[in-house]
Amino acid sequence: MSGGATRWFSETLHASFEQRFEITEVLYQSNTDLQDLIIFETPFFGRILALDGVIQTTERDEAAYHEMLTHVPLLAHGDAEEVLIIGGGDGGALREVLKHRAVKRATMVEIDGSVVDLCRTYMPTLSNGAFDDPRTDLIIADGLKFVEESDRKFDLIIVDSTDPGGPSLPLFSDEFYANCRDILTEDGIFICQSGVSFVQEAEARDTRKRLAGIFEDSALYLAQVPTYAFGFMTLGWGARSGRARSTDVGTVRNRFAAANFETRYYTPDIHAACFSLPAYMNY
């Protein structure tokens, strides 16, 4: 943060580039056991969560990320009952998963319990009561170990992590991806974030290669999240079969209508288009 009459939060995640957010109030700031955490209020984006100096989510545009992370695989699958979320302590992904009535249990494994507690206190709209849903099974533990040791099967695994580094680094490995595949059901789907490809091309390229080597069906798809500078947020898709990704847009449209919930970003037409990549991402 910089001083002066107006306070600013500066993010310098990408080389030779800085973006700043005006701070109207710091709601909470601390160094947890695992990472530096700050939650602050802004005039335009509302409340913002940053970890280790990097913006994680904002009230203004979080729906673009969380809806695409969840509704694309859930509506493509059509019958997911057991969902595992690794990370996602702010509760946004959990909130969206639980909008699907077919989901019988959403297991969330978050390594830093303080993120959950602080977001429930200072950014409650992100989870919107999801942690109190009886279908939620919140486990404060290392997601890497949970996946390695679990004897359960999941229809969908979502990895909602920070960028590679710190406690999230092991979540970007062949071993972790392979362990996730092993606990998926026959048509199960694995979703992960893989950076903003325009400036994090190596991350997206490595994710695509890793998914292709481990899963029967693999792809990248896109979401436009304004806070994540330089455009498209890239999400990785890995599945045990090609059934879900071949679901036609008419079926997705019918499933979305039957699900009967509102979205701020996701639509079936965006769903159909999100796997179409710009030329620079054809790798």
Helices 62-77 and 249-259: crossing angle, nearest 10°?
110
List all residues 6 or more positions away from 68 whose beta carbon is below 8 Å from its beta carbon: 221, 223, 233, 235, 265, 266, 270, 274
Domains of the chain: 7-58 (2.30.140.10), 62-281 (3.40.50.150)
- Binned at pLDDT 50, 70 and 90, residue 17 comes out as confident
Percent of the chain with pLDDT over 90: 78
Of residues 185 and 30, more confidently modeled: 185
Q: Phi/psi class of residue 116: alpha, beta or left (left: φ > 0; alpha: ψ in -120 to 50)?
A: alpha
Does an H or E element contain 88, and which? none
Give the orientation angle of helix 174-182 with respect to helix 201-214, to 10 degrees.
40
| Amino acid present at 225 | V
Rg of the chain taking only CA atoms, in angstroms: 18
Q: What percent of the chain has pLDDT above 70? A: 94
Is the pLDDT assigned to residue 163 strictly greater than 70? no
Mean pLDDT of all residues belonging to the chain: 92
Q: Please tell me what DSSP assigns to residue 2.
A: B
Give the predicted TM-score (pTM) of the model: 0.93
For residue 167, the cross-strand partners are none
Read off the pLDDT of residues 87-102 as tens digits, 9 standing for 90 and up. Answer: 999 999 999 999 999 9
**Distance between CA 136 and CA 182 in Å, rounded?**
22
pLDDT value at residue 33 = 72
Letter for the amino acid at 237?
W
Instruction: Say if residues 22 and 43 touch (Cβ distance below 8 Å).
Output: yes
Distance separating alpha carbons of residues 41 and 25, to the nearest angstrom: 5
| Cβ-based burial of 25 (10 A; exposed 0-12, middle 13-18, buried ≥19) | exposed
pLDDT band at 171 (very low <50, low <70, confident <90, very high): low
Active site residues: 160
Q: What is the DSSP string of 113-173?
A: HHHHHHHHHH-HHHHTTGGGSTTEEEEES-HHHHHHH----EEEEEEE--SSSGGGGGGSS
The per-residue pLDDT for 168 is 52
DSSP calls for 163-202: SSSGGGGGGSSHHHHHHHHHTEEEEEEEEEEEEETTT-HH
For residue 191, how many C-alpha atoms fall within 13 Å in the half-sphere facing its CB? 31
DSSP assignment string, 71-84: HHHHHHHS---EEE
